[in-house]
Amino acid sequence: MILYPCDQGSLEWHRARAGVITASMFSTARKRVGELDERQSQYVAAVRAGTPEKAAAAAAGYKVLPKSAIIEKALRGEPVGDYSEEAKNYAFRLAIERISGEPLDEGFETFAMRRGKDLEPAARAEHEVQSGLIVQRAGFVLSDCKKFGCSADGLISTDGGSEYKCFINPEKLRTFHVDNDASEVFEQAQGCMWITGRHWWHIGLYCPALEPVGKQLWWRRFERDEAFISEMRADLVQFSQMVDRYEAGLREPAKAAA
Distance spanning both ends of the chain, measured CA to CA: 49
- Summarised one tens digit per residue, pLDDT across range 191-212 is 999 999 999 999 999 999 999 9
pLDDT along the chain (258 residues), means of 10: 85 91 95 89 92 93 90 88 94 96 75 78 94 92 94 93 91 90 91 96 94 94 96 96 97 77
Question: Cα–Cα distance between 97 and 179 in angstroms, integer?
Answer: 39
Looking at CATH, the fold of the domain delimited by 2-9+106-237 is given as Lambda Exonuclease; Chain A (3.90.320)
The predicted model scores a pTM of 0.82
Q: What Cα–Cα distance (Å) separates residue 164 from each residue in 48, 135, 180, 204? A: 46, 12, 16, 5
- Summarised one tens digit per residue, pLDDT across range 95-126 is 999 999 999 875 566 776 777 778 889 999 99
Where residue 101 falls (left for φ over 0; alpha for ψ -120 to 50; beta otherwise) is left
* 142: phi then psi, degrees, rounded to nearest 5: -115, 140
* Domain range summary for the chain, segments of one domain joined by +: 2-9+106-237, 35-80
Nearest to 113 by CA among 209, 27, 12, 10: 10
Element (H, E) at 83: strand 82-83
So what's the pLDDT on residue 256? 67
Query: Hey, what amino acid is at 152?
Result: A
Q: What Cα–Cα distance (Å) separates residue 90 from each residue in 30, 86, 249? A: 11, 6, 16
- Helix 226-251 and helix 85-100: axis angle, to 10°? 60
